[in-house]
Amino acid sequence: MAVVGLRIRVRGQVQGVGFRPFVWQLAERLGLRGEVLNDPEGVLIFVAGQGLEEFVAALRAEAPPLARIDAVESEPHQFDQPPEGFAIAASRGTGAETRVTPDAATCPDCAAEIRGDGRRRGYAFTNCTHCGPRFTILRGLPYDRSQTTMTVFPMCPDCRAEYENPADRRFHAQPIACPTCGPRLWLETADGVVPGDAIALAAARLKAGQILAIKGLGGFHLACDATSREAIARLRLRKRRPAKPFALMARLSMIQNFAEVSAESEQLLTDPAAPIVLVPSRGVLPEELAPGMTSLGVMLPYTPLHHLLMDAVGGPLVMTSGNLSGEPQVIGNDEAREKLADFADGFVMHDRDIARRLDDSVERATPYGPMILRRARGRVPGTLPLPPGFEGGPQVVAYGGQMKAAICLIKNGQALLSHHLGELDEALTFEEFLKADQDYRQLFDHHPARIACDLHPDMRASRHAADRVAREGLELVKVQHHHAHVAACLGENLWPRDGGKVVGLVLDGLGLGTDGTIWGGEVLLGDYHGVERVSHLAAVALPGGDRASHEPWRNAVMRLDAAGLEAVADRLFPDLPRAGIRSAAQARVNAPLSSSAGRLFDAVAACLGLSAARQSYEGEAAMRLESLAGAQDAVPYPFDVVAGQIDPSPMFQSLVADLGSVAPGVIAARFQSGLASAFAAQARRLVENGAATAVALSGGCFQNARLLELVLRELQGLHVLIHRKVPANDGGLALGQALVAMAQR
């Protein structure tokens, strides 16, 4: 006798999160019959019985903590035979139409279990369906154990019983393991494996001031005692990293002792993504952790290994990326032995392979919500919905820019923005970029009709896009750098495709403009389809090209000269080759014109003696200037606006007058206030005269929380769009490129 029930399709992040056992338990509770299974599109449910409306409503309302539901679609379904009971069926089909769950920090139950008396006490690879590795161990879809790096660890009878019990929180937890059957941990040095408990041995060495390379979820960290100036100095010397801030790992109670943790920052820290979070320092820990900075990057332990190590050490640890300078993070054991031996006194190793390298995500809390600075572990491969008007478009891939590279795939009404891949100037990083392109393509069964890239033809990402287009006969869309920034901000905020024009304030480092000059301080008017340049920062030469990005004094000399302050430049930088760069600028030899706001930050920082001769890492001068200004209010320095150009010459004249008599922090604050006022005034004028209905803020300079606050204050009363889930820096470019490519179809 046929029975009519429902066929229910659940789309979203619903595999590997305990969704099927949740459905089973829900059906058992309501006395329903049928089955649930995974397939390439998500979770599929066939169900019959009374209370189906309550069942469908509960799918959203009571979903597991790691689930992210995009849609619940139901339709009548006729069963030829009445189903008996409710079953969890085997996965069906191949392909990738659903989302993959990011790696998730250890849940409270597993954290308690490793400290309890059960068989997983002290076990560094404990996990369940609510936590543990996902993307970093995944080799293919659907998400089953055989498709992960756990396939080489056959389950013992006890783990198998948990895995097959729908009432257990480890039902179909693909990384399930225990000391009997799972991965193992050990400590080794150049002399070989050290006998004993790896955690206890590692803790003793760290407390003695040693540096250890520790294998985590997405790669190796280099760790040392964060309270030891000597250990920190040794790590900086060995890694040749003189000033770039180190990330720290500590328990929340420890972090609260050495940093100010707001409720919003605590919420980010305790999120399953477990990112590094920037928080104000209390000045308790050594200043050498983050020279010249008032904030620290902190994260909680996010694997059982980290929890156990924290228990044993009892204090904060430096946890910085395990890599050679400029190279990708190390993930393999042999690779670590080869590349990290000069840095580390020992290695905490394990034998579970890492399928793909993922850096730690970096985020900060602002009064306007969370802000992602680096999108990586814990956030990827989470997807973003497309704005209204982009439904039914073709599959698109976009390749981003040269710095902070990331890839974006558009498929099924979702945008998948890849993890942070790094700076493509480095050959090994570009190799990783190529691997990631192939990896995402295969993993998500992606077949683009259109490829988008930056307007600059010599960027490695742009050349790769052109090569693929020529090889596969696809369509190429070149997108101007700052147009992509605006589109990324619009897309993140779900601005409709036909939502009307906005003012784009884009403040960043460098991007090729449509006129052949280097842009970076822009007031744009437009939408996804196109933008026009309404006004911009007055341009000066970038003498030495890329060298000007590394040596802030070059920008300072050009800006001071443009303001009629040549003598001041001579006084501030007496030992640097000013005559040479002036000649190059005058002759336009390797000295392109640039309106970059990022280089303006460098110029001001150099005038204040901050990293003037050379930056030891990208953004150092601007970050130190931001820290120096703090949160103080200051009377803004004046900027002129002449024929659409925002001229900082009056600002430099005022700044020079203040040198020596006004505190550097006040000067830094007055500069930021003046810059915010000058650009916000242009945006307000365009909105109030009806040319636009909203303002979009994008570009790396808007990761400066104080600058963002100042601009938003100046724009009060207007509709302003900002970045929260997508980096404002070049890490978000690929999303904008992809949306522009779709809009121009």
Tokens 């790396």, located at residue: 700
**What pLDDT does 443 receive?**
86
Q: How many CB atoms lie within 10 A of CB 564?
A: 11
Q: Which residues pair with 536 in a beta bridge?
A: 522, 645
Which residues of the chain are in CATH 3.90.870.40 domains? 185-350
Average confidence (pLDDT) over 388-402? 95
Task: Confirm if 408 and 417 have CB atoms less than 8 A apart.
Answer: yes
State residue 2's pLDDT score: 76
CATH architecture designation of domain 3-88 = 2-Layer Sandwich (3.30)
Domain with CATH 3.30.420.40 in the chain: 508-525+532-721
At residue 199, the 3 state secondary structure works out as helix
At residue 93, the pLDDT reads 73
Q: What is the pLDDT of residue 560?
A: 98
Helices (H) and strands (E) in the chain, counts: 23, 31
Please tell me the distance from the alpha carbon of residue 294 to that of residue 260, in angstroms, as a whole number. 11
Q: Where in the chain is the domain with CATH 3.30.70.100?
A: 3-88
Domain 381-479+732-743 is of which CATH architecture?
Answer: 2-Layer Sandwich (3.30)
Mean pLDDT on 522-540: 98
Tokens of 478: 């070149």
Q: Which residues of the chain form CATH 3.30.420.360?
A: 381-479+732-743
pLDDT of 96 higher than 60 = no
Per-residue pLDDT at 41 exceeds 90: no
Task: Give the chain's mean pLDDT.
Answer: 95
Assess whether pLDDT exceeds 90 at residue 483.
Answer: yes
What CATH number has the domain spanning 185-350? 3.90.870.40
Assess whether pLDDT exceeds 60 at residue 97.
no
Q: Which helix (H) or strand (E) holds 74?
A: strand 68-79
Strands (E), 375-517: 383-385, 396-398, 408-411, 414-417, 450-454, 475-479, 502-512
**pLDDT higher than 90, residue 81:** no
Would the pLDDT of 242 be above 80?
A: yes
Q: How far is CA 208 from the centre of its chain?
A: 33
At residue 142, the pLDDT reads 73
pLDDT band at 95 (very low <50, low <70, confident <90, very high): low
- Which tens digits make up the pLDDT trace of 259-306? 999 999 999 999 999 999 999 999 999 999 999 999 999 999 999 999
CA dist., res. 30 & res. 137, Å (int):
35
Average the pLDDT over 644-648 and give the result. Answer: 96
Contact 459, 473 (CB under 8 A): no
Strand partners, 45: 8, 36
Q: In whole angstroms, what is the distance from residue 520 CA to residue 538 CA?
A: 10
Query: Does 3.90.580.10 match the CATH number of domain 508-525+532-721?
Result: no
338 pLDDT higher than 80:
yes
Q: Lowest mean pLDDT: which of 81-95, 566-580, 715-729?
A: 81-95
Above pLDDT 70, what percent of the chain?
A: 99
Q: DSSP secondary-structure letter at 211?
A: -
Q: What pLDDT is recorded for position 283?
A: 96
Taking only the tens place, the pLDDT of each residue in 46-70 is 999 998 999 999 999 999 988 989 8
Q: Are 372 and 385 in contact (CB under 8 A)?
A: no
Comparing CA positions, the residue from 596, 610, 593 lying closest to residue 701 is 596
